[in-house]
Amino acid sequence: MNHKSVLIRIFLLCAYPLFSSATEENAVLKGEDSGQNDFSTDSPSVAGIIKYNMRKSLDLEQEGCYLKTGKNDCLEKCGFNATAKTIFIIHGWTMSGMFEHWMHKLVSALMQRESEANVVIVDWISRAQQLYPDAVNHTYGVGLDIAALLNWLQDEHQLPLENVHLIGYSLGAHVAGYAGMHVRGTIGRITGLDPAGPMFEGVEKEKRLSPDDADFVDVLHTYTREALGVSIGIQQPIGDIDIYPNGGDVQPGCGLGDVLAVAGNFMEVMKCEHERAVHLFVDSLMNKEHLSYAFQCTGPDRFKKGICLSCRKNRCNKIGYNATKMRKRRNSKMYLKTRADTPFAGYHYQMKMHVFNKKQSDDADPIFNVKLYGEHKDTADMFVDVHGNSIGLNMTNTFLVFAEEEIGEVLRIRLSWEGESDSWSSMWINIKKKFWGNHSKPVLEVRRMRVKAGESQKKYAFCAEDSSKTEISPGEYINFVKCPDGWDAKPKKRVPM
């Protein structure tokens, strides 16, 4: 067994406690040595096992009504409306054998937002609660069963497939993909909520959710952080648009300390991030006035630098239920930052400033903070994150600022340089200077700042409020107000000394 297989064995034993015997572990590792997904598309039959629970009540404790392929009396009893939107919710792998709490929230949000729609839960729990590899082997059959139901509804009741929306979480996202691949015609939309990664990462598109499975496939990735060679959520882009909130990495409010303080269970940390995709989708249904926008970017590093906040040529989109179909552009990766709790939407700002080196302050290594003063309210001081890099001297720096509250139009900005005792990082920089560096007080200069608001796409130029106060040292700040000559004005050329 190679090194990668050993790591995967350890990970799955930690992440999936149900694997308890050597036989079960070997089942997990089936095909892992080759790096291929070897589960059979000739999966065990699930005919008659899958239940289609059409919801008439927000209370999931009530039994609901069940659709059955070929049974017209069931459609009449359930009040199925073939001309309305039809939304299928497909759960993923489960250890409890019961619907998880997120299902209640999603059903309730959908029924409130789309009161006339047919909202159907695809219940495949009897197969989903098996060992993870066995549950994976059943996904293909469940997808075929959904496709058979849709084909019958088309034949007997002229169901328009463009009105069908499949929403799949984790393994359920790939189930939706199989349904879309095998239905006769093209489903209107499939939404993948953090599609499962193990046994699906890197395989051919016929063995996972892909853009070919519906007219519009949108995917939310919230847990793509790799541990011991595998990721719980799939990392690669697999839709028409693939949205990575917070880079698809650590989700705010899901940190070890945050979750352990409430749940006291390490497993809840992973669940929090994996399940965040569902809660972002629910949030998009419930908070129509507070929409989250994602922005196209080649990768998370560029996004964190504030480079990608353009909405030109379909470069931005709403997320979750409100996402809109774009001109066919496969695997368009998009990013955004979110708050830790609902409403998750915040406000993105791109900021640019040219930092001039004064008095040979090559080793200044400043730590800047900004505070935005808006027409409605102000922000707290926010750390200028240049994503692991130092502020560049004698060059233009671009960075991203994320405000959790709407402040309205930005009226003023305060740029401050942390003093020597303001933070541990500043203290360490100061200690290094005292022992190895320049002992003189560093002086830098910032004359202008440029700001672009991602959500409104408005651009502003800010000049120093006091034109004689453009230099800054540790513990000091500069106030900037809107330049009278606007965004397009260029700073005057500096006469060489």
Grouping H, G, I as helix, E, B as strand and the rest as coil, residue 333 is strand
Examine the residue annotation and report whether 108 is marked as an active-site residue of this protein: no
Task: Return the CATH class of domain 347-482.
Answer: mainly beta
The dihedrals phi and psi of 13, each to the nearest 5 degrees, come to: -70, -30
Instruction: Kindly report, residue by residue over 420-440, the tens digit of the pLDDT.
Output: 655 555 555 555 555 555 567
Examine the residue annotation and report whether 310 is marked as an active-site residue of this protein: no
Lowest average pLDDT, out of 122-131, 293-302, 431-440, goes to 431-440
Grouping H, G, I as helix, E, B as strand and the rest as coil, residue 185 is coil
| Six-digit token string for 38 | 């070897």
Over range 65-75, report the average pLDDT.
94
Instruction: Kindly report, residue by residue over 109-120, the tens digit of the pLDDT.
Output: 999 999 999 999
301 is in an annotated binding site: no
Q: Pick the catalytic residue: 170, 284, 332, 426?
A: 170
Q: Pick the catalytic residue: 165, 274, 279, 348?
A: 274
Examine the residue annotation and report whether 485 is marked as an active-site residue of this protein: no
Q: Are strands 216-220 and 241-245 parallel, antiparallel or unpaired?
A: parallel
Residue 288 has a pLDDT of: 85
Residue 433 has a pLDDT of: 55
The model's confidence at residue 361, banded by pLDDT at 50, 70 and 90, is: confident
Instruction: Kindly report, residue by residue over 176-191, the tens digit of the pLDDT.
Output: 999 999 999 999 999 9
Task: Return the CATH class of domain 51-336.
Answer: alpha beta
Closest CA to 477 of 396, 422, 401: 422
488 is in an annotated binding site: no
The model's confidence at residue 269, banded by pLDDT at 50, 70 and 90, is: confident
The dihedrals phi and psi of 119, each to the nearest 5 degrees, come to: -105, 115
Report how far apart the first and last C-alpha atoms of the chain are (Å, whole number).
68
Q: Pick the catalytic residue: 134, 145, 194, 283?
A: 194
| Six-digit token string for 132 | 């993870």
Segments making up each domain of the chain, as ranges:
51-336, 347-482
Judge whether 51-336 and 347-482 match in fold: no
Lowest average pLDDT, out of 6-20, 215-229, 245-259, 422-436, goes to 6-20
Please answer whether residues 282 and 106 qualify as being in contact, where contact means their C-beta atoms are separated by less than 8 angstroms: yes
The C-alpha atoms of residue 398 and residue 450 are separated, in whole angstroms, by: 9
